[in-house]
Chain A
Amino acid sequence: KAIMPFGNTHNNFKLNYKVEEEFPDLSKHNNHMAKVLTKDIYAKLRDKQTPSGYTLDDVIQTGVDNPGHPFIMTVGCVAGDEESYEIFKELLDPIISDRHGGYKPTDKHKTDLNFENLKGGDDLDPNYVLSSRVRTGRSIKGYTLPPHNSRGERRAIEKLAVEALTSLDGEFKGKYYPLKSMTDAEQEQLISDHFLFDKPVSPLLTCAGMARDWPDGRGIWADEEDHLRVISMQKGGNMREVFRRFCVGLQKIEEIFKKHNHGFMWNEHLGYILTCPSNLGTGLRGGVHVKLPKLSTHPKFEEILTRLRLQKRGTGGVDTASVGGVFDISNADRLGSSEVEQVQLVVDGVKLMVEMEKKLEKGEAIDGMIPAQ
């Protein structure tokens, strides 16, 4: 008899079929999930579910539907709730290890949001560094995540987030723009500020169920791929100021959520818990839009980035290519190092790359500047 709502009769029904009959065909796949998932692991985990009813097939569906991505090695799985990382650890731990540079199940992740520990970062050359931005995500404890939440839950998250955010004041005072009741004028303004997020079209997200019921429960400040995406940004190269505002704002927001008895999802092994395993730890992507037309065509560009522990993207975000020699440069790591450490890498690395660009402009060599392994 089905236990409704959210009973998992459907998963139990699947157990009538043998493992070989249900195991996905991953022969043409190239993502982290496909590399790790064996029939044995599938057999072991297929009859499990989290307390909210999330199952192994739910976790892997996006990876089954999306065999590979031209620019990046995708993770190929998502969490439906905090408990997913526990119940399906036999699958997720090796994926986390592959994705986060060998991070072990016994490793501990440190959190450091004390912006005063950042050295420098206020003097990146604005002739090259066009804008600076730090983003992370936060999940609210006690709720399921975007791949799994129902309309009722998503709305409750929105309500709580809006309550918390509208109680901010001082430099953090602001406004909530729900997607479904935004006026055309507000929408235009948010687009030109580069604030507006669109309904996800990437099948990586849609196959994981994150676009359901769009735009219900979504708004600027809350709920796209994660419960909250928190972004601090400004034009120019003062990353220090961006990071300060990021840390202070985050801590204020967290205090408010704690007062409502819903802190953020966090543990000392995985740091901040987010929907995609690639965002565990700090969930932080700190970066700049920077003009590197000469450096980006240098044969050692990729290697320089790797050694600096940085990654490049196009200025449109993760799924885009660069335009006019302007790159989005950000930290590559998320798990195993702190927020301060990751932003420090960006600050130091970008400063160095701008120096390299200037040298190349003068026709000088940069080999001496390339960091050691």
Chain B
Amino acid sequence: MASSFTRILSSKRNVGILSLVGGSVAAGFLLHREHVTAGEPLRRRYPASAEYPDLRKHNNCMASHLTPAIYAKLCDKATPNGYTLDQAIQTGVDNPGHPFIKTVGLVAGDEESYEVFAELLDPVIKERHNGYDPRAMKHPTDLNASKIQSGVFDERYVLSSRVRTGRSIRGLSLPPACTRAERREVERVVVDALSGLKGDLAGKYYSLTVMTEKEQQQLIDDHFLFDKPVSPLLTCAGMARDWPDARGIWHNNEKTFLIWINEEDHTRVISMEKGGNMKRVFERFCRGLKEVERLIQERGWEFMWNERLGYILTCPSNLGTGLRAGVHVKLPRLSKDPRFGKILDNLRLQKRGTGGVDTAAVGGTFDISNLDRLGQSEVQLVQTVIDGVNYLVECEKRLEKGQDIKVPAPIKQF
């Protein structure tokens, strides 16, 4: 038996032999095939060390944590839908750094990405979310707007108030990985649910593919329209594929509650108003979100959420609450004070230009919002913004009167 086996093994013909003939032991063997059957991938394979990206000139969270060892461990894994590590990190490989902020440098293709690639994602999450440890901590969710104290700002300083978050539909892949059919299904599920909103939340959907010129202009004037992403942070992650298929904007008739469909996340939910009534903005935000959730649950769907990471979104920076609550506020004097940065830090706030994350401030008017997303609840974060903005406006008033200001003690985080 041994000699016939050796003869088979040494034959030059590359044939798959499925059973060993003869003897009392029948065994199945598959010899190495040179010509594979259709559908079975045969591809030149390189060791992980040959595939490991060159990150020496990179400065993003992914590059800070992706060691050759972690890469080797995760590079041949895939989520059940087939999303891989290389896909997750592509945006960070292609975009070494950003002038204003340290970017995350990776995205999730689906809910399972956060589990399958946890070895890389957990330290990235910890760095990005200021020490929140997904392996040890739980994230609190609280959308009870009645707990908010004060929250109506001085409108001589605060020009507008806004709260946004995102929600993903469980069971469908996220924008970096979704197929056209999945993306269309997200649109269908969400638009169907939104059509059930009533009262001050009742509204209309504008699909990007069938929008009229007039509708488009109106949405631009209202500052509602989102564009095809041009930022390479998004395009390199595959989020602009098939544009504008299955993308659209929904807003209520009063133009105070707005939902983006299939841009950087399945949905982005925005509540906003001119002026300083952050309390009302947040109240509508919570009410709207809970209604939408009820409506999709009626239809058998739910949002992606777990107690380790809170609401699951495409970018790890938006985990937890995914919430950014902010105001456009005039701080011409305070912003020139050398202590401005430290004051913001201690209040756990961040500044942006009024054009959004990639812009600089114009004319002393800033976008001020919460720094944190994960580890604190929605109510806690909005309260932090309210308290912080009140403090900033106080400082501005004091500086106007020629009085001095104090840097507040740093707020405890978690």
| Selected interface stretch from A2-10, A167-175, A285-293, A315-323 | A2-10
**CA A249 to CA B216, docked complex, whole Å:** 55
In the complex, chain A residues whose CB is within 8 Å of the CB of B45: 5
Find the B residue at minimum CB distance from A51: B42
Q: Check B82 against A153 for contact (C-beta < 8 Å).
A: no
Q: Check A10 against B54 for contact (C-beta < 8 Å).
A: no
- Which A21-65 residues have C-beta < 8 A from chain B? 21-25, 47-49, 51-53, 57, 61, 64-65
**CA A24 to CA B242, docked complex, whole Å:** 8
Q: Check A8 against B93 for contact (C-beta < 8 Å).
A: no
Q: With A17-B182, A214-B94 as known contacts, state yes or no: A9 contacts B43, CB within 8 Å.
A: no
In the complex, chain B residues whose CB is within 8 Å of the CB of A51: 36, 41-43
| Selected interface stretch from B72-80, B158-166, B316-324, B394-402 | B72-80
In the complex, chain B residues whose CB is within 8 Å of the CB of A214: 94
Q: Check A64 against B93 for contact (C-beta < 8 Å).
A: no
Q: With A5-B76, A52-B43, A65-B240 as known contacts, state yes or no: A10 contacts B51, CB within 8 Å.
A: no
In the complex, chain B residues whose CB is within 8 Å of the CB of A25: 209, 242, 245
In the complex, chain B residues whose CB is within 8 Å of the CB of A153: 44, 46
B83 on the A face (CB < 8 A): yes
Q: With A3-B40, A150-B86, A151-B53 as known contacts, state yes or no: A24 contacts B180, CB within 8 Å.
A: yes
In the complex, chain B residues whose CB is within 8 Å of the CB of A213: 53, 90, 93-94
In the complex, chain A residues whose CB is within 8 Å of the CB of B54: 180, 216
Q: Check A65 against B241 for contact (C-beta < 8 Å).
A: yes
Within the complex, the shortest CB–CB distance from A20 to chain B, in Å, comes to: 9
In the complex, chain B residues whose CB is within 8 Å of the CB of A47: 39
Q: With A7-B82, A11-B82, A216-B53 as known contacts, state yes or no: A52 contacts B242, CB within 8 Å.
A: no
Q: How many A-B residue pairs have CB under 8 A?
A: 117
In the complex, chain A residues whose CB is within 8 Å of the CB of B84: 4-5
Q: Check B78 against A2 for contact (C-beta < 8 Å).
A: yes
Q: Check A150 against B51 for contact (C-beta < 8 Å).
A: yes
Q: Check A10 against B41 for contact (C-beta < 8 Å).
A: no
Q: Check B81 against A10 for contact (C-beta < 8 Å).
A: yes
Find the B residue at minimum CB distance from A18: B181
Interface string of B150-179 (1 = CB under 8 A from A): 000000000000000000000000000101
B198 on the A face (CB < 8 A): no
A305 on the B face (CB < 8 A): no
Within the complex, the shortest CB–CB distance from B169 to chain A, in Å, comes to: 15
Main secondary structure of the interface of B (DSSP, over half): loop
In the complex, chain A residues whose CB is within 8 Å of the CB of B409: none
Interface string of B75-106 (1 = CB under 8 A from A): 11110111110100010011000000000000
Find the B residue at minimum CB distance from A16: B181
- Which B219-257 residues have C-beta < 8 A from chain A? 235-236, 240-243, 245
**CA A308 to CA B309, docked complex, whole Å:** 65
B25 on the A face (CB < 8 A): no
**CA A216 to CA B209, docked complex, whole Å:** 37
- Which B21-79 residues have C-beta < 8 A from chain A? 36, 38-47, 50-54, 75-78
In the complex, chain B residues whose CB is within 8 Å of the CB of A101: none
Find the A residue at minimum CB distance from B244: A25
Q: Check B181 against A8 for contact (C-beta < 8 Å).
A: no
Main secondary structure of the interface of A (DSSP, over half): loop
Find the B residue at minimum CB distance from A27: B209
Within the complex, the shortest CB–CB distance from A10 to chain B, in Å, comes to: 3
Q: Which single member of A65, A143, A206 contacts B44 (CB below 8 Å)?
A: A143
Within the complex, the shortest CB–CB distance from B409 to chain A, in Å, comes to: 46
Interface string of A287-315 (1 = CB under 8 A from B): 00000000000000000000000000000
Q: Which single member of B81, B181, B236, B241 contacts A22 (CB below 8 Å)?
A: B181
Q: Check B241 against A64 for contact (C-beta < 8 Å).
A: yes
Within the complex, the shortest CB–CB distance from A354 to chain B, in Å, comes to: 43
In the complex, chain A residues whose CB is within 8 Å of the CB of B42: 51-52
In the complex, chain A residues whose CB is within 8 Å of the CB of B36: 51
A191 on the B face (CB < 8 A): no
In the complex, chain A residues whose CB is within 8 Å of the CB of B93: 212-213, 216
Q: Check A4 against B76 for contact (C-beta < 8 Å).
A: yes
Find the A residue at minimum CB distance from B56: A180
Find the A residue at minimum CB distance from B235: A206
Q: Check A6 against B94 for contact (C-beta < 8 Å).
A: no
A110 on the B face (CB < 8 A): no
**CA A206 to CA B209, docked complex, whole Å:** 23
A102 on the B face (CB < 8 A): no
In the complex, chain A residues whose CB is within 8 Å of the CB of B177: 10
Find the B residue at minimum CB distance from A215: B54
**CA A12 to CA B240, docked complex, whole Å:** 22
B184 on the A face (CB < 8 A): yes
Within the complex, the shortest CB–CB distance from B229 to chain A, in Å, comes to: 12
**CA A52 to CA B42, docked complex, whole Å:** 6
Q: Check A53 against B41 for contact (C-beta < 8 Å).
A: yes
Q: With A51-B41, A52-B43 as known contacts, state yes or no: A9 contacts B82, CB within 8 Å.
A: yes
Q: With A6-B41, A8-B41 as known contacts, state yes or no: A17 contacts B181, CB within 8 Å.
A: yes
A144 on the B face (CB < 8 A): yes
Q: Check A22 against B180 for contact (C-beta < 8 Å).
A: yes
Interface string of B204-219 (1 = CB under 8 A from A): 0000010000000000
Residues of B within 8 A of A (CB): 36, 38-47, 50-54, 75-78, 80-84, 86, 90, 93-94, 177, 179-182, 184-185, 209, 235-236, 240-243, 245
Instruction: Give the 6 A-B CB pairs with smallest separation, nearest first.
Output: A152-B46, A10-B82, A9-B82, A17-B181, A21-B181, A152-B50
Ordered by A's residue number, 25 sampled pairs between the chains whose C-beta atoms are within 8 Å are A2-B82, A3-B40, A4-B76, A6-B41, A7-B41, A7-B82, A9-B82, A10-B83, A13-B80, A13-B81, A17-B182, A18-B181, A21-B181, A22-B180, A49-B39, A53-B43, A61-B241, A65-B240, A143-B44, A144-B44, A150-B86, A152-B46, A211-B94, A212-B94, A213-B90
